[in-house]
Amino acid sequence: MSASDIEAPARSGTDKGLSKGAVGLLGSVVIGVSCIAPAYTLSAALGPTAAEVGTSLPAIFLVGFIPMLLVAFGYQQLNRAMPDSGTTFTWGSKAFGPWLGWMGGWGLLAATILVLSNLAGVAVDFLYLALAQITGNDAIAELTRNVPVNVATCLVFVALAAWISYRGMETTKAFQYVLVAFQAVVLLWFSIAAFGHVAAGTAYEGLTVRAEWFNPFGVESFSAFAAGVSLSVFIYWGWDVVLTINEETKGSATTPGRAALTTIFVIVALYMTIALAVLTFSGVSDQGLGMGNEEIQENIFAALAGPVMGPFAILMSLAVLSSSAASLQSTFVSPARTMLAMGYYGALPGKFARVTPRFQTPGYATVAAAVISAGFYAVMRVVSENVLWDTITTLGMMVCFYYGVTALACVWYFRREAFRGPKNAFTKFLAPLLGGILLLVFFGQTAYDSMDPDYGSGSQIGGVGLVFLLGVGILLLGVAMMLVQYRRNPAFFRERFETTELPVLD
């Protein structure tokens, strides 16, 4: 039996009580862009990526885009056959069985929990920076370095974002339109102003765009290349949220796939514009406003907004603040619906499958995601002064892992029909195969390199890099949680999912 033969039955058994038809194509793309959070991701990732690959920054951004595009074709085909909010978990279980499917879902949950904590941290930084700029009191910006104040503010952001997500997709969609439009306008304003400084000879470095900047083979070593790609994967990550809301989308079998591809193309165009603007303006030196300067790497826009935008610098602070706040809210959609699906099918306790009657949202799972992400941030903020950099690098590893698993799930699931025409061969086999292999190779290389205590921010425990400990520790925790759930509900793990339905928890 081919995958296309089970398309209709697979759809009929996935009614989890979520709101139907709440989001269209435009709303999906807006939520996708919001989840990626271009202002936040670039502010946090431009510096660390430039530190790894230097002026090859545009090349690495393009290389990071390629596996994202290839994997997106696989997501599109899986969603067409099985539009299910569990995405990686559900599709991995259908293709490879419950054990690997569970770990794929865990990778998605880990990535989203990591980024939720990171988003809240960036929102805190830019909240106090914006308040300092508004009041003219520079001391307010330093409040973000006060750990109790930082953590308390973070908890407020997480609570507010969870509350909006709890109230459903209509509230989420309305909240996102304004914030996404605002950050896009400010980012384009910043880019135009930076290019203007370069043209006028008033830029800090004032570099001329060169062809070698777009050559990925110009990176010094494969380790630096893999680290750079892992970071660039982070800046693209988040587009798959449009698949997670497939059960709440108009045209659930086709609209999410189109929204994913549209989101990726919009983002790569925006990223290349901003990357070239910053690179030509600042360069990559380790002094002053150079992107290699460790003192400004965690929040590159905080350092460059004033020199580039002058008196309008506060708009950039507000843009990054709104970007991180908007993404913090939209990102809650993904782990909540993944945990909902895992609870629905018996891979997590049944309480995760609870849907609020009033808002038709996964209420329990949303609250659980908020509590876990807030707790993780609080712990990491105490353990590492460079919490943003370390969690970004670890996040890149988790994304490579679960995207890779999902892409290969597409290859295996459609193996019997992959070569029924050139379109099938590309979208169901070649594209997801190449994308999945590339991402898993980058995952393995980054995991190996991150054992070095000097990797990332240089934070380490017992002579082992904190990034490695976080990445491997999170995966091992996933194995432990899976074994606990196996003891609690062995029925899910004993099933073979080559049929039309995953088992549903009674």
| Residues 6 or more apart in contact with residue 278 via CB below 8 angstroms | 42, 46, 194, 291, 300, 304
Predicted pLDDT at 500: 42
Q: What's the CA gap between 93 and 101, in Å, rounded?
A: 4
Predicted pLDDT at 270: 93
Positions of the chain with pLDDT under 50: 1-13, 498-506
Total domains, the chain: 1
Q: Tell me whether residue 254 is in a domain.
A: yes
Predicted pLDDT at 1: 30
Q: Tell me whether residue 11 is in a domain.
A: no
Query: pTM of the entire structure?
Result: 0.81
Query: CA 100 → CA 90, 103, 142, 217, 329, distances in Å?
Result: 10, 5, 45, 34, 29
Predicted pLDDT at 503: 45
Predicted pLDDT at 294: 80
- The residue segments making up the domain with residue 348 are 26-494
Predicted pLDDT at 505: 43
Strand ranges in 69-108 using DSSP code E only, listed in sequence order: none
Q: Tell me whether residue 47 is in a domain.
A: yes
Q: Tell me whether residue 21 is in a domain.
A: no
Place of tokens 């056959």: 81
DSSP per-residue string spanning 388-437 = HHHHHHHHHHHHHHHHHHHHHHHHHHTTTTTTSSHHHIIIIIIHHHHHHH
Predicted pLDDT at 87: 92
Q: Tell me whether residue 17 is in a domain.
A: no
Predicted pLDDT at 361: 86
Predicted pLDDT at 497: 54
Query: CA 159 → CA 41, 172, 369, distances in Å?
Result: 21, 14, 10
Residue 107 is part of a domain; what is its CATH number?
A: 1.20.1740.10
Predicted pLDDT at 138: 85
Predicted pLDDT at 457: 65
